[in-house]
Structures are given as structure tokens and as C-alpha cells.
Amino acid sequence: MLSVMTLTLLVVLVGLPLSFIALQAVFPQFSAGVLTGAFSGVQTLLAEPQLPTMLGGTLQVGIGVALVSALIGFPLGVARGLLNLPLPRLWDVLFLIPFLTPPYIAALSWMLVLQTNGYLQQLTGINLNDLLFSKTGIVLVMALNIFPVVYFAVSRSLLASGQRLALVARVHGASAGRAFWHITLPMLSPSLAAGMLLAFTLAIEEFGVPAALGTRAGVLMVTTDIEKKLADWPVDLSGASMLSVVLVVIALSAWAIQKKLTGHHDVTSITGKPTENTGADAGVFTLPSVMLLAAVGILTAILPGISMALSGVLGTLSGGVTLENVTLSHYRALFSQQGDALSALGTSLSLALATALITGAVGLLASWLVVVQKIKGRGVMDALSLMPAALPGIVVGVGLILLWNRAFWPISPYNTWVILLLSYCCLLLPWPVRYVSSALRQLGGNLEPAARVHGASAFQALRFIVMPLVSPALLAAMLMVFAIASRELVTSLLLAPAGTQTVSVFIWRQFEQGS
């Protein structure tokens, strides 16, 4: 029963939306119930004059973000994992802030700082408006949010593997530089490649930053064009579906490259005994390393936060940063808008909590059935549970529209808050699956069979043995799901029914209205 129930949930959350996207891409009139003219939409898509520019812009931005993220995150990760620096936990928390900050919020913050008559020009006279509203500006804004994936991948790899091999090389006469080049760097290469390709995937599926900056910069990306095809009349479901397939192919190609680069490279311990890595003495590099970490933290976390907070208490932006221009009227207006702001906040928190609970339960069951029970068909279940990791949010939104906006469903979640919950669950399901699967593989294979020998059922073993042992990993995944779901933008814009607003939709509409 657990297997059937879990597989059914995965098919509803992931399998059906993807199937309907594929059918709509193959049959242009599928939304009207006509299965003719297979692949006739391909010629229409290829004839679209903006297609080369759009694909080129998406790939250029994705590659640029991956390279800049590596340029920022790699040295910081090496310093954090290799050296014994003061306040190590502080740097981890500081670099979590930009990663958990919605990219569209970061884009709006940088607009307030760098645009013409922005804070930078008011305080220093420097105008970086042209840099911000350009392809380079889009890449920089995205990279300042995404670089933590490289930082944490590199630093955690170093902290986990330790310095023993490099120290052995030093004992045998290698210089510090040679030990790093021939020992440490090859050990880091899988983590670096994984972090860069994850940064690439996150960049090509981002909607908020290109939508906020790309219009004025003249930069076209696949995500913004998909949204345009769905938002502007006449609605082009076929074109949106085909572009969604293109975006999925690009994302899956990135993941395939990652697997090819990292799939056959493992870092193993000679003794198998974990050791606490306290780091090498930084010596004369302590001050430069701390200054670099602090500078990046100020630039990526503190400065955008100050920009947003300052804008909330200034009467007008043109009035300048002066005490006379400080006011709390914006906050009074915010909370007096007929309850829209508080209602949006309550909706987002409720949906985020429900998403965390549902994905936690489904992720636990799917991981347990695949890793521990090793049921028949576990490959399909594992693929369905992890597939959303390579799916851009806008693709999930398109799939849910195609699936549930149908007359033949007796009951449909479309145009209700339930469609938002389905989209969040689909997008964020891989988090609990990955966390719990890793925890289950570390438990070994003896505890649950011992319980079964002593008369426990499979469900009792799951409840009393497996769940308590994997609960820390599951809780961590659910907290991440809650944080991300509470500020998700693109599927909320596509799917939010009339009269329902989330925090992200409320902020975006205020921005579009110039508030």
C-alpha cells in the first residue's frame, strides 16, 4: 500500500505535468483535444526570429554566472576549508543569506543602489546604471546570489576530506603550492564541477532577475519568453511547451555533463576513520583572507539588505539619504492596504508549511522504499522523485496549467490555492529525497532487519527505527523547503488564482507599479 500510494503521488506531482508538456509540444492542438499535426510546431518555433538571440542569451548568462560564481566561491571555499580562520561559522551564515534571498529581491535592491540617481550616485556621484542594465549586470547580480553553491561545495569537500594527503606530500618534500596543485585541487575538482554546473542550472531557470533587468538591458532569455507566451494574448501553449522542453533539455544536459565529470571521481579515506579537520595555520594570510571574506559578505549580503531597508523608510528616492526624508508612512500604508500585505504573508507561510510537511512525508517514503526496501520499480520511483531538480520552475508551471486546466476533470485544483501547493511540492521534492537518502545510506543494513526478525512490521521498523535516526536530515530538508517555498516567484505568478496573493507576487506587483 505504501509503495502504490507513494508512486501514485509521484506520478500526480511530477509524471503527469511532464507528460502533458511533452504531448502539447508534440501536438500543437493538444489543448483542444486534437492529436494531429505531430511536431508541426517545431517549424514554427525554428522560424521565430528571436529564437537564436534568446537561446544565446540564456546560454551566455548561464555560463557567465557559473564562471563568476567559481571565481568568487572557489577561493573563499578554499580559505574556509583549508585554513584555520577566526569566526568560521560566521562566514557560513553570512554566505547563506544571499543564497536564501530571492534573486528578484536582490535585483530590486541593486537597482535602488546603482540606477541613475540611486544611492551610489547620490552618495559618491558614480553612475553605474549602464553596467546594471546589461548582460554583464544580469550575470553579476545572479552570481552574487548563486556563488554560495560553489563556496559550500568546495569548503565542505575540504572539511570532509581533511589535509592528510597534502601533509604527506609536504613531509616527502613537496612545497605548499605543489601539494595544493597535485593533491588538493584534483580532490576538489568534482565538487567544483558540481557547484559550477548547479550554478549554471540555477541561472538558466531564473525568471526574476531577467524580468527585472532584462527588459531595459535588451537581454532575452527562455524563461521570460515562456512567461510572455502564457501571459500575453493570444496565449501560445504550444510555443510555451516547446520552449519548456528546450529548457529542460539544456538543464538535463548540464546535469549529464556534471555526472560525466564527477561520476567516476571519488575521494576516499585510507583508514576509513573520520578526523576533525581543524585547518592549517593561515599565518600571514589570515588578515587578507578575513578581509576578502568580509568584503564579499558586505557586497552580497549586507549592502543589498541595507538598500532595501533604507528604501522602506525614505519618503522619496529623489529626496536623498537625509534625516528629513526619513518616514514610517510606507509601513503604515503597507499594513493598511485592506489587509493585502498580511494576507499575502499568511498565504505564503501556510503554503510553505504545507509544502514542507507533504514533501517531507513523500520524500521519506520514496527514499525508504528505494534505499532500504529496494522495491521493484525503484528506478522509476527514484527518477520521478529527483527529476524536478532539473526542472525550471516555469516548466512546472506550464505542465500544471496543461494538466489541470481541462474540462474533463470532475474536480480540478486549477484556479485555487491547491495548484500553488502542487507546484511547490513538485519543485522542492528533491530536497527531502536527497537528504533522507544520504542519511539512510549511512545507517547500514542491520537495524531494520533485526527489528523485522523480532516481529516488527515494515511500518513499525520505519516508524520506530528509521524515522528517529533520519529525523535530523529530514528536518533540515523540510526547513530548506519551507524557506524556498515561502518566497517562490515564477510558478506563483503563473498559477496564483484571482484574489490570492503570495508574498512574492505582492512584492513583484508593487515593483511593477513603481511602489
> What pLDDT, on a 0 to 100 scale, did the predictor assign at position 279?
61
Spell out, as residue ranges, where the chain has pLDDT lower than 50. 266-276
- Closest residue by Cα to residue 351 from 166, 144, 502: 502
Burial of residue 107 (number of CB atoms within 10 Å: 0-12, 13-18, 19+): buried
> What pLDDT, on a 0 to 100 scale, did the predictor assign at position 339?
65
> pTM for this one?
0.80
Q: What are phi and psi of 314, to 5 degrees?
A: -95, 135
**Please, are residues 357 and 404 in contact by the beta-carbon 8 Å criterion?**
no
- Closest residue by Cα to residue 436 from 481, 485, 398, 397: 481
- Reported as type and span, the H/E element at residue 281 is strand 280-281
> What pLDDT, on a 0 to 100 scale, did the predictor assign at position 341?
83
Phi-psi bin for 75: left (phi > 0), alpha (psi -120 to 50), beta? alpha
> What pLDDT, on a 0 to 100 scale, did the predictor assign at position 272?
42
- Kind of pairing between the strands at 83-84 and 280-281: parallel
